[in-house]
Amino acid sequence: MCRLCLRDKCPSACPNYIPPKAYYYCSECGQGIFESDEYIENDDGEYRHYDCFRGIKDLCEWLGYEIKTMENNDYD
Ligand SMILES: [Zn+2]
Ligand SMILES: [Zn+2]
């Protein structure tokens, strides 16, 4: 038990608090990616929480896919 906050597991306000070990850091929110968190890695070696994508387009662009607009070339 912690002598300062008298708890088994210190809350983040306690000086003895040890943050959980982050394996990677999210390039979007800057928070650690912890055990059992869902995350995605792209070809640039960046990591992001699954929940940190604003949508499918955001996800695709981050993964390096170009979002194109089909143009109508049938006018010849
Ligand atoms: Zn404590
Ligand atoms: Zn994140």
47 half-sphere exposure, CB direction, 13 A CA radius: 14
> 31 CA distance to ligand 1 centroid (A)?
22
pTM as predicted: 0.64
pLDDT over 80 (residue 76): no
Class of domain 1-67: alpha beta
The reported pLDDT for the residue numbered 74 is 79
Sequence ranges of the domains in the chain: 1-67
Q: 3-class SS at 62?
A: helix
**How many whole angstroms from 32 Cα to the centroid of ligand 1?**
21
pLDDT at residue 5 tops 80: yes
DSSP string, 7-50: SSS--TTSTT--PPPPSEEBTTT--EE-TT--EEE-TTS-EEEG
pLDDT tens, position by position, 23-52: 899 999 999 998 889 999 999 999 999 999
List the shell of residues around ion ligand 1, using CB closer than 5 Å: 2, 4-5, 10, 14, 16
